[in-house]
Amino acid sequence: MNSHLSFEEGWKVLEQGILKCSKILECTSIRPTVNEYMNYYDCAYKMAVQKQHYCQEMYNGFRMTLAECVRTMVLPHLMHKQNDSFFRELVKMWSNYCIMIRCVTGFFNYLDRCFVEQYKLPSLSDAAATAFFGPVFSYFNDEARTALLTLIQRERDGSMMDSSLHDVMHGICCSEVKSIMQNAFLDETYGYYSMRSSEWIRHYSLPDYLAKVEESMETETKRLAYYLEISSGDSYPLCLQAVNAPLMETYVNYVTEQQISGQLMLETYKTVEEELLGRCRSLTLG
């Protein structure tokens, strides 16, 4: 190599390495050889440390090349699929993609450790997550949200927790589409408990209904923290809006319609509310 490596010359080598690793998405056993791997690493390192470096250009190229791989090699597998079939294919492609990324980020290890950290940019693994879930949600927003939220609703209704759901949600939480999924999660949760409130208010006494509010707040605070990877302290106020609000709206409307003593309603509510607040504030993600 010349003393100075131009971006065009160096990126041609690195792009070749990324595309070779992308064969993993097709479930092939093709991998760079040891010599090829070291050549890709040396190329990225030289482009990062030479006087006229190309760190930002490599970072941008890394993201754009991965996103193009996803568009051409992942999205076709998701077409014409919905619900469980969509989710199963998404899990398979995300799993293969994670293997690919572990290989690719090795080329850019120096870039990740120095340039990315220095400029407080998303890590290469987080940028790779955005390169995957950005196109997925751009092209299959409804299918992706429906498939994921359906599994979460099944879990609420008693189905076993699916570990692969958390794997996908972890990737989403590392990407720039986390806010999209969080809003969808909260909207779906609000709708779920609005529906449940109408059933519960007819089947439970008022103290038992408020006990269900308490139980739901505790469960959903943990669920939100687990799937969206936020602290219980952050998830609690979100659950007040998505869980407590629809349940208590139904409660207040019911006691108003039934002309139940305001004093009795207040005493019942305050007793359960104090226990609810105490429990939820002491939640941990153990």
Residue 132 sits in the same domain as residue 192: no
Q: Do 191 and 169 share a structural domain?
A: no
Pick from 137, 239, 228: nearest CA to 190: 239
- Yes or no: say if 55 and 48 are a contact pair by the CB < 8 Å rule: yes
The model's pLDDT over 223-253, given as tens digits with 9 standing for 90+, comes to 999 999 998 889 999 999 999 999 999 988 8
Q: What is the pLDDT confidence band of residue 286, given thresholds at 50, 70 and 90?
A: very low
Domain containing residue 62: CATH number: 1.20.1310.10
Name the residue range of residue 209's domain.
179-285
Same domain, 147 and 281: no
Overall domain count for the chain:
2
Threshold 0.85, pTM exceeds = yes
Last residue of a domain, one of 126, 142, 175: 175
Q: Are 170 and 194 members of one domain? A: no
Residue 272 has what pLDDT?
56
Residue 264 has pLDDT above 60, yes or no: no
3-state secondary structure 238-261: HHHHHHHHHHHHHHHHHHHHCCCC
Say if residue 142 is in the same domain as residue 197. no
Asked if 9 and 99 sit in the same domain, the reply is: yes
Same domain, 1 and 120: yes
CA 280 to chain centroid, in Å, comes to 23
Instruction: State the pLDDT confidence band at 261, using cuts at 50, 70 and 90.
Output: low
Listed ranges 152-161, 166-175, 269-278; the one with the highest mean pLDDT: 166-175
- 195 and 272: one domain? yes
With cut-offs at 50, 70 and 90, classify the pLDDT of residue 279. Answer: low
CA atoms of 30 and 24, how far apart (whole Å): 7
Asked if 141 and 221 sit in the same domain, the reply is no
Same domain, 2 and 27: yes
